[in-house]
Amino acid sequence: MTEKLVLHEYALSGNCYKVRLTAALLGLPLERREYDIAKGETRTPEFLTKVNPNGRIPVLQVGERFIPESDAAIFFLADGSELIPDDRFERADMLRWMFFEQYNHEPNIATLRFWIAFLGTSQLSDEQRALLPAKKAAGEAALKLMDEHLERRSFFVGERLSLADIALYAYTHVAEEGGFDLAGLPHVGAWLERVANSPRHIPITA
């Protein structure tokens, strides 16, 4: 990697943590620039024009170019490395879990963590409050599906750590902050420990 890598982020976001964790596992240096999303710092005209027209973090800056979307950013970092399977089927299967994460997992588990642990339930709008039961149920279904998949596996794809694990680890390991109970999911619990014990692993607070 000859171009400088800069992560535009809000450090407590699991999506941003994915990028830091992938860079750490690969030994890649990463500069960091923090934005206060509560103050609208990712919605300024400059951010929307230069960094991400979608007004969201993380964004990985590669030289003077920008990659929004956490799972695209970690694919860029890991392209050609052992974190992406060589096998064609396994490579697609890895992406299958990454798309599952963004469609079935993150909108429920990350959103409830943000609403409950960051905003606080007393600050929620009526619309957000009405969505709580559906998001809780959908998040629990995603976690249960993961637990069943891991019953006879060490990692999500190909029996070794890949981007699928990193994408799903980011918000699963802090799911209890959003009110999810992991106690009844022993295979998820064992997998979380396995990921946390990987060489060069860093915590979300690093």
- Comparing CA positions, the residue from 132, 134, 115, 133 lying closest to residue 124 is 115
Is 33 a residue that touches a copy of itself (CB under 8 A)? no
Residues 6+ apart with CB under 8 A from 70: 15, 16, 18, 19, 58, 167, 170
Rounded distance between C-alpha atoms, residue 123 and residue 145, angstroms = 31
Q: Which of 34, 41, 68, 182 binds a copy of itself (CB under 8 A)?
A: 68
Measured from the CB of residue 145, what is the shortest distance to a copy of itself in angstroms? 5
Is 152 a residue that touches a copy of itself (CB under 8 A)? no
**β partners of residue 206:** none
Q: What backbone phi and psi angles, to 5 degrees, belong to 111?
A: -65, -45
> Which range binds a copy of itself by CB under 8 A, 25-33, 85-93, 111-119, 177-185?
85-93
Rounded distance between C-alpha atoms, residue 113 and residue 12, angstroms = 11
Is 148 a residue that touches a copy of itself (CB under 8 A)? yes
Q: Count how many Cα atoms sit within 13 Å of the Cα of residue 159 in the half-sphere of its side chain.
A: 1
> Among residues 145 and 190, whose Cβ is nearest to a copy of itself?
145
Is 45 a residue that touches a copy of itself (CB under 8 A)? no
> Among residues 67 and 168, whose Cβ is nearest to a copy of itself?
67
Q: Which of 4, 33, 40, 103 binds a copy of itself (CB under 8 A)?
A: 103
**β partners of residue 65:** 62
* Interface positions, 177-206, toward a copy of itself (CB under 8 A): none
Is 154 a residue that touches a copy of itself (CB under 8 A)? no
Residue count, binding to a copy of itself (CB under 8 A): 36
Is 81 a residue that touches a copy of itself (CB under 8 A)? no
Q: Which of 32, 91, 187, 201 binds a copy of itself (CB under 8 A)?
A: 91
* Three-state SS annotation for 118-173: HHCHHHCCHHHHHHHHHHHHHHHHHHHHHHHHHHHCCCCCCCCCCHHHHHHHHHHC
Measured from the CB of residue 196, what is the shortest distance to a copy of itself in angstroms? 25
Is 176 a residue that touches a copy of itself (CB under 8 A)? no
Rounded distance between C-alpha atoms, residue 43 and residue 49, angstroms = 10
CB neighbours of residue 77 within 10 Å = 25
User: Contact positions toward a copy of itself, by CB under 8 A?
Assistant: 53-54, 62, 65, 67-73, 75-76, 79-80, 88-89, 91-93, 95-96, 98-100, 102-104, 106-107, 127, 130, 134, 145, 148-149
